[in-house]
Structure 1
Amino acid sequence: MDFRVWLKKITKNKWVKWIVIVITSILLFLVGLYISIYFGFFGKLPTTEDLSSIKQEQATQLLDKNGKLIGKYYIFDRQPVTFNDLPQHLIDALVATEDSRFYEHDGIDNISLMRVFVKNLILQDKSAGGGSTITLQLAKNLYGRKNYAMFSMLINKFKESIIAKRIEEIYSKNEILTLYLNTVPFSDNTYGIESASLKFFNKSVNELSKNEAATLVGTLKANTYYNPRLHLERCKGRRDVVLNQMVNYNYLSVDSLEYYTNQELKLDYRSFNHDVGVAPYFREEVKKQLLAILDSIKTPDGDSYNLYKDGLVVHTTLDYEMQEIAETAMKSHVSKLQHDFEASYGKKAPWNQNTKILKSVINNLPVVKRYKALGLSDSQIEDSLSLKRNVELFSWQGDTIRNISAIDSLRHYLKFLNTGMLSIEPSTGAVRTYIGGIDYRFFKYDHISQSERQVGSTFKPFVYTAAIEDGLDPCTYFSLNEVTYTNYNDWTPSNAGSKEEDPYINYTLENALSNSVNTISVKVLEKVGIPKVLEQVEKLGISKELPNKPSLALGVGEINLKELTGAYASYVNNSKAVKPFYITKIEDKFGNVIASFNPDVSKKQAFSNYTRQVMLEMMKSTVNKGTASRLRNTYGLNNAIAGKTGTTQHNRDGWFVALTPNLVTITWVGNDNHSIGFKSTAIGQGSNSALPIFAKFYQKLNKDKRFDKITNAKFETTTEDVLEDLSCEPTKRDGFIKRLFKKKNKKKKFN
């Protein structure tokens, strides 16, 4: 039959006419839709110029002093790398799995794309996938998708195809792969291969093995479903699919397949969540400083830098490895101390009783204050706080979820001891370790930057420093006996311990300080005068206004741990105090330094070199034979260490100061509620509550050769005149005549 006759006959069939009309309509619709999208009817498309200068939000990286990543600040956890950083087996795994014809097409796989169109239009399958090349996925990663009233998938696919074409015109295949791997979302809200590699395997992308690379590529199919942290076995199965794809496309030999699929999938997960990981308190404090710093710096375009989006690199003073050791030491000791602390109180613990302490805490809750402002009665408020709900609770034995009330939760947290620990380089003030509390997730209050606590006996060296500087002979003897100061409400300072002391025994300054004798510290303060001590403290960089009364000698003043550490650095830093600092420089994402910071060391000596050596010898005695001697006899530390323990009134605070030639460390332990102290001095004294943290910390440093410059350092040789001035008997007993007329409990006015 003639073709024209056949065609004429066929076209007269009404069903054929309808099919032709439908197909023509669909084609016209698609063409019209494509044209309308191309000209921006569904939103402006990025131009070639826009695509040439793609700007992606990047996380700010926080590095330690050796360039190791401590943490990041971000909205999207993204950390870009270059093509040269990408191992070939990672690229092979990606291409084999996601886009096998990547090097052959121009951004669009037309056959696969048509399949998506048919599914979407004819089958109305809204979840229709497939047909997506790496370039199309990149377009989606860069510009996202919008929801439209109809044909959302189709419209978005058209938009992505236009963008993909433009990307292919501008960038090489290698550049497209780099852009893709820097923007693609992985599991746990992670963007980009470098961030994923660091999070799941704690290594940079260029260190990924074939096994690890295949694992991460496998998660791209469904990053929640194949999250390796949550579904390891499922993820391993997907990894094997990727390895098989690599074999199918000749990126991996068949012989190698069995070897890699039989490998165990091991994660080295490292969360960059702001509340967890190494040094969370440090990261939070640095963030506060960065926000203030960046507020005063402008970009070359005159805009403000954005901490969360601009990919800055912040170099800090922290030592990552040392910080890890410090945190381990803290957890080891405080967890045990917490057990002893609770056991000492037994059933009569203040947090278990309906005491004034608990009521005070409840009344200070913001929600209770709001209820009272609304006029609710006490019983109504109590009923509200008694409602139970599932709450995650901190525990040293492992966090738990319990169904408890707000009051129960308060009781739970009221019992916990907390801590602060700071280590600095004494010559500069550079912070090497920073522990602001026991767990940042549950205890946000920072005991280094925010807290001020009574410093107890750690204040005594400042009193003795002022006295030596004022000319007091180090071998001056002071009596142990108690004195009642009538002009201060008959205040009678006494010494720690239950045994009755011989009032006729006299101590030298060195013996009194190393044994932390309260009665003598007050007498030394009286001898030198309160004004001179306050003046000396001010020279040491402590700005807090302190009590102008005799109890100053016993450390009743509240001082910030950071200032205290900077002041103590003077004893191993040529008598010059320092200000602890955290940031050395800030770079933009191109490596340009936009801000740098130098150590803030006092230009003037706070006291003479003679005084410094005398005080250092006294604090060496504290460690060698005084209140800190358990460093030697219990923990076996033979390093060059000087120090001072401290315990405050009612055993509320325990302190330990450790001075070594190249590291100054101060630790504090106590309850956040000032009304709750340790049950006994035996548990709460600084040598038991705070000292062991430093001891365990230093034990671990001793075992690590990386810290030999710190642990093997020696104090300078003490001069002959200092040693001669200290060469006297540590104690002297009053003679018979003096004992005959000496009052055991003398009353006098404090001068």
Structure 2
Amino acid sequence: MAKAKKETKVEQGFSKYVRWFWILFLGGILAVGVLFLLASSGAFGEMPDHTQLENPKTNLATEIISSDGKTLGKFYFNDNRTPVSYDELSEYLVEALIATEDARFYDHSGIDARGTLRAAVKLGSGGGASTISQQLAKQLFHGEGSKNIVERVLQKLKEWVIAIRLERQYTKEEIIAQYFNIYDFLNNADGIRSASRIYFGKEPKDLELKEAAMLVGMFKNSSLFNPRRRPELVKERRNVVLAQMYKYDFIDEKLKDSLQQTDLDLNYSPESHREGIATYFRGYLDGFMKDWMKKNPKPDGTKYNLYNDGLKIYTTIDSRMQTYAEQAVQQHMPRLQAEFFHQNTPKRNPTAPFLDLTLGAIDTLMWRSMRQSERWRHMKYDLKKSNKKIEESFEKPVQMSVFAWKDGQPTEIDTIMKPVDSMRYYKSFLRTGMMSMDPQTGHVKAWVGGMNYRHFQYDMVKQGKRQIGSTFKPLVYSSAIDQLHFSPCDEFPDTPFCIEANKYGNPEEWCPRNSNGENDYGGTRTLKNALANSVNTITARLIDKVGPQTVVNLARKLGIDSEMLPVPSIALGTPDISVYEMVGAYATFANQGVYTKPVMVTSIEDKNGTLLYQFKPETRDVLSAETAYVTVKLMEGVTQSGSGARLRGKGREAYRADYREIITGYPYEFTNPIAGKTGTTQNQSDGWFMGMVPNLVTGVWVGAEDRAAHFASITYGQGAAMALPIWGLYMKSCYADEALNISTAEFVEPENLSIKVDCSEVEEGDVEDNEKEELPDDLEF
């Protein structure tokens, strides 16, 4: 009896423990459920709603895309982020992420119960339990955790709730893609696309195994595992990722061991507004987009944000041709600059880099430049400094980095210099502008506004306007052909010619001279020979026959909006015009007389791919196809026997070795039809070359910031030596790339051509160019 009572008592005691176990167990579940409900309802802080989960708020960079599908650059403020889809990720990225961050990712619904229990039992010493979904929730909606234990627990609850919601909202693949897209990999590498391009110069799809492992390793702490500052530490972390991939059978031991011995092999390619490809074009595009956004608000009436809204701008620039153009500039300009410095030593030119200026005039020029500088503007209007204080600041040496050419490459030199001296130093550099365009479509294929955007930000394609010299003469000839039906074979006397005073509003008699004065006259010349050799007197005869206003009217129809006075002297290229305008004008001749306005942007889309803008071609008939063709045939003479003949490999062979080096690539030995015109302005301040083939028109200008900085003689100061080599180098690269399909064909001859263009039966006279190819002298002056 006693034994039975004892057994009953034990059973009752055991039942009590079981009851308490279930009370505690079910109570715990209930408590957790209540906590989840409270967290979900926002009792512990704001929680994202369905709309926010569907469209998480992230800043997305605007992407600039070339015509051949490459990213030229981005507009962003803080976040250089361009999202990619799961399909655009390398399989190595996904495998490395799963192995390192969440091995059971495909088996849970946002929370890894086994990992959470392990972390609770071991108090976190065995590793964390955050799943990829939880980490994504943390980055998207509540950031870094608090140090307060209670707040950390509440944040973890919220993280769990958001993770579960994310798993319901998105597929596993979409969560992985979002996780890669949201992370900050440092060095302006926001998201996996930027990180892949910046650290390895690749798209995410193209990453190799060890590259993917390095980037996944940075998820632990990108500030600590920064490959630029701590490469050895990053390598160790990468090797941990490779070990994890081996552990979970993504790679074998042999591959793991071999890769762990390799270096990081970074190909660091920073993406900033002042670096990379097509920087000057991107500078233009910044203004274009801001104007467009003012006129085109979002559907809700708010304005688009160029730096945060993830727009996609599709441009006409071809990344290959843009690269060739920039390479041509960097190949020619340092050699030309070296000669300019050689001629402007203190011994040879005490007022270097200026010529023909008194010391007083130079002081005035520098004072005016100071007043126009960004330093002056900042101190005057932002810092409210007096003019005296500002002027004094220009005389105080400061530490700075200045531009220089070194071994043919742009570089920076750290130095201490007075700001006024740095201004004079930069005025000694020759600059350039270049644009290339398809004449039929108007699509601009390459745009190089200068040598180095970081140090020379003024764009010499569209912003800068310079005197154009003889490159304006084809417009005079074209007017004469259009109005008077002249032929390239028509002959004119090569004798002095004057236009009397007050004719065409000219206050004085105008008597242009040829380059060699009285020794450069005699006999007759055909129009083809006259243009090829840039004979000023014959050009003057032509503008007298058609009138300056006719030429100005034609220039306006050809898209030249710059100021042009209808006076006879415009025949020799006195107006200041941009490269952009000149390329558009010349393209009309190649396009059978139809002007097509240059196009840079074809379409704009929002981050969802919705079309926001589609360009509409702007064209107009300007000249008959016959007039345009005859003008082209005239300009072919320039490259056959005139100042552009070196493109054919013709000309003197006795050039001094260093001169041949400066006109890089000579002889170019092009054999296909090329129409073009060189231009050299007064005192050799500006050198131009306009060149075209049937499907590509390209203009190049070279000169210094101030016209007083120039070569002393025409040997190096002519367009054929300053600008033409850039065109030649660029076209050689374009022709070498057969995928570009740059034409080598004849220009299209119109039907029923009535004007004679074959002048082979006419005596062309001596080939002596007014923009002469002089042999280099000893350069003492």
Q: TM-score, normalised by structure 2?
A: 0.82
- Which of 693, 699, 711 aligns to 1:666? It is 699
Q: For residues 648 and 117 of structure 1, do their structure 2 counterparts lie closer, same or farther at Cα, with a shift above 3 Å needed? A: farther
Map 1:559-570 → 2, pairs under 5 A: 559-570=577-588
Map 1:651-730 → 2, pairs under 5 A: 651-707=684-740, 709-717=741-749, 719=753, 721-723=755-757, 727-730=761-764
Counterpart residue number, 1:361: 369
Whether 1:431 aligns to 2:430 is no
Q: What is the rounded CA distance, in whole Å, between the counterparts of 2:371 and 2:690 in structure 1?
A: 36
- Which of 476, 481, 491 aligns to 2:496? It is 481
Q: What is the rounded CA distance, in whole Å, between the counterparts of 1:66 and 1:415 in structure 2?
A: 37
Q: What is the rounded CA distance, in whole Å, between the counterparts of 1:193 and 1:368 in structure 2?
A: 41
Q: What is the rounded CA distance, in whole Å, between the counterparts of 2:378 and 2:261 in structure 1?
A: 60
Amino acid at match of 1:625: S
Q: What is the rounded CA distance, in whole Å, between the counterparts of 2:758 and 2:54 in structure 1?
A: 76
Find the residue that maps to 2:726 and give its secondary structure: helix
Contact 2:514 2:520 in 1 (8 A): no
1:61 to partner: Cα distance: 2.1
Aligned residues: 700
Counterpart residue number, 2:308: 309
- Which of 85, 97, 103 aligns to 1:100? It is 103
Counterpart residue number, 1:635: 668
Find the residue that maps to 1:394 and give its secondary structure: strand
Q: What is the rounded CA distance, in whole Å, between the counterparts of 1:207 and 1:218 in structure 2?
A: 18
Q: What is the rounded CA distance, in whole Å, between the counterparts of 2:95 and 2:539 in structure 1?
A: 73
Counterpart residue number, 2:625: 609
Q: CA RMSD in A?
A: 3.5
Amino acid at match of 2:84: V
Whether 1:391 aligns to 2:404 is no
Map 1:544-559 → 2, pairs under 5 A: 544-559=562-577
Contact 1:658 1:664 in 2 (8 A): yes
Whether 1:134 aligns to 2:132 is yes
Find the residue that maps to 1:688 and give its secondary structure: helix
1:577 to partner: Cα distance: 1.6
Amino acid at match of 2:618: D
Whether 1:72 aligns to 2:74 is yes
Q: For residues 62 and 375 of structure 1, do their structure 2 counterparts lie closer, same or farther at Cα, with a shift above 3 Å needed? A: closer
Q: For residues 212 and 693 of structure 1, do their structure 2 counterparts lie closer, same or farther at Cα, with a shift above 3 Å needed? A: same
Query: What does the per-residue CA deviation read over 1:158-215, in whole Å, with 9 as the maximum and x for residues that have no partner?
Result: 4433322332343343332222112122132222222322332333222222122112
Contact 2:468 2:679 in 1 (8 A): yes
Counterpart residue number, 1:254: 253
Contact 1:623 1:632 in 2 (8 A): yes
In the alignment, structure 2 segments of 5+ residues that lack a partner are 1-8, 10-30, 650-666, 767-781
1:515 to partner: Cα distance: 0.6
- Which of 443, 451, 466 aligns to 2:456? It is 443
Q: For residues 351 and 136 of structure 1, do their structure 2 counterparts lie closer, same or farther at Cα, with a shift above 3 Å needed? A: farther
Q: What is the rounded CA distance, in whole Å, between the counterparts of 1:369 and 1:562 in structure 2?
A: 28
Q: What is the rounded CA distance, in whole Å, between the counterparts of 2:114 and 2:398 in structure 1?
A: 55
Contact 2:344 2:353 in 1 (8 A): no
Whether 1:622 aligns to 2:638 is yes
Counterpart residue number, 1:419: 432
Counterpart residue number, 2:655: none
1:535 to partner: Cα distance: 1.9
Contact 1:226 1:234 in 2 (8 A): yes
Amino acid at match of 2:686: D
Amino acid at match of 2:59: E
1:658 to partner: Cα distance: 0.2
Q: For residues 108 and 412 of structure 1, do their structure 2 counterparts lie closer, same or farther at Cα, with a shift above 3 Å needed? A: farther
Whether 1:61 aligns to 2:63 is yes
Map 1:398-417 → 2, pairs under 5 A: 398-417=411-430
Amino acid at match of 2:372: N
Q: What is the rounded CA distance, in whole Å, between the counterparts of 2:684 and 2:56 in structure 1?
A: 60
Find the residue that maps to 2:512 and give its secondary structure: coil
Q: For residues 182 and 681 of structure 1, do their structure 2 counterparts lie closer, same or farther at Cα, with a shift above 3 Å needed? A: same
Counterpart residue number, 2:596: 578
Q: For residues 401 and 69 of structure 1, do their structure 2 counterparts lie closer, same or farther at Cα, with a shift above 3 Å needed? A: same
1:110 to partner: Cα distance: 6.9
In the alignment, structure 1 segments of 5+ residues that lack a partner are 5-28, 733-751
1:285 to partner: Cα distance: 1.6
Q: For residues 676 and 236 of structure 1, do their structure 2 counterparts lie closer, same or farther at Cα, with a shift above 3 Å needed? A: same
Q: What is the rounded CA distance, in whole Å, between the counterparts of 2:275 and 2:765 in structure 1?
A: 52
Which deviates more, 547-556 or 363-372? Answer: 363-372
1:685 to partner: Cα distance: 1.0
1:434 to partner: Cα distance: 0.6
Q: What is the rounded CA distance, in whole Å, between the counterparts of 2:221 and 2:398 in structure 1?
A: 33
1:447 to partner: Cα distance: 1.2
Which deviates more, 609-618 or 290-299? Answer: 290-299
Query: What does the per-residue CA deviation read over 1:2-37, in whole Å, with 9 as the maximum and x for residues that have no partner?
Result: xx9xxxxxxxxxxxxxxxxxxxxxxxx999999986
Which deviates more, 433-442 or 482-491? Answer: 482-491
Q: What is the rounded CA distance, in whole Å, between the counterparts of 2:541 and 2:192 in structure 1?
A: 66
Contact 1:117 1:154 in 2 (8 A): no
Map 1:255-404 → 2, pairs under 5 A: 255-299=254-298, 303-347=302-346, 348-351=350-353, 355-365=363-373, 367-368=375-376, 376=386, 378=388, 381-397=390-406, 398-404=411-417
Counterpart residue number, 1:745: none
Which deviates more, 149-158 or 709-718? Answer: 149-158
1:435 to partner: Cα distance: 0.6
Find the residue that maps to 2:668 and give its secondary structure: coil
Which deviates more, 102-111 or 262-271? Answer: 102-111
Counterpart residue number, 1:518: 536
Find the residue that maps to 2:100 and give its secondary structure: helix
Contact 1:351 1:358 in 2 (8 A): no
Q: For residues 721 and 337 of structure 1, do their structure 2 counterparts lie closer, same or farther at Cα, with a shift above 3 Å needed? A: same
Q: What is the rounded CA distance, in whole Å, between the counterparts of 2:214 and 2:147 in structure 1?
A: 37
Counterpart residue number, 2:513: 494
Query: What does the per-residue CA deviation read over 1:368-398, in whole Å, with 9 as the maximum and x for residues that have no partner?
Result: 47878978575x5444223233212111222
1:590 to partner: Cα distance: 3.1
Contact 1:323 1:432 in 2 (8 A): yes
Find the residue that maps to 2:425 and give its secondary structure: helix
- Which of 495, 504, 512 aligns to 2:522? It is 504
Amino acid at match of 2:738: K
Contact 2:470 2:572 in 1 (8 A): yes
Query: What does the per-residue CA deviation read over 1:649-686, in whole Å, with 9 as the maximum and x for residues that have no partner?
Result: 22211110001100000001111224433332222211
Contact 2:603 2:615 in 1 (8 A): yes
Query: What does the per-residue CA deviation read over 1:347-373, in whole Å, with 9 as the maximum and x for residues that have no partner?
Result: 124458764332332243355478789
Contact 2:630 2:755 in 1 (8 A): no
Q: For residues 416 and 42 of structure 1, do their structure 2 counterparts lie closer, same or farther at Cα, with a shift above 3 Å needed? A: farther
Find the residue that maps to 1:470 and give its secondary structure: helix
Find the residue that maps to 1:624 and give its secondary structure: helix
Amino acid at match of 1:283: R
Q: TM-score, normalised by structure 1?
A: 0.85
Q: What is the rounded CA distance, in whole Å, between the counterparts of 1:294 and 1:201 in structure 2?
A: 34
Q: What is the rounded CA distance, in whole Å, between the counterparts of 1:44 and 1:399 in structure 2?
A: 50
1:103 to partner: Cα distance: 3.6
Q: For residues 239 and 480 of structure 1, do their structure 2 counterparts lie closer, same or farther at Cα, with a shift above 3 Å needed? A: farther
Amino acid at match of 1:267: L
Q: For residues 158 and 418 of structure 1, do their structure 2 counterparts lie closer, same or farther at Cα, with a shift above 3 Å needed? A: farther
Contact 1:482 1:503 in 2 (8 A): no
1:509 to partner: Cα distance: 1.5
- Which of 93, 117, 130 aligns to 1:90? It is 93
Q: For residues 242 and 422 of structure 1, do their structure 2 counterparts lie closer, same or farther at Cα, with a shift above 3 Å needed? A: same
Q: What is the rounded CA distance, in whole Å, between the counterparts of 2:373 and 2:765 in structure 1?
A: 53
Find the residue that maps to 1:77 and give its secondary structure: coil
Q: What is the rounded CA distance, in whole Å, between the counterparts of 2:602 and 2:694 in structure 1?
A: 22
Amino acid at match of 2:396: L
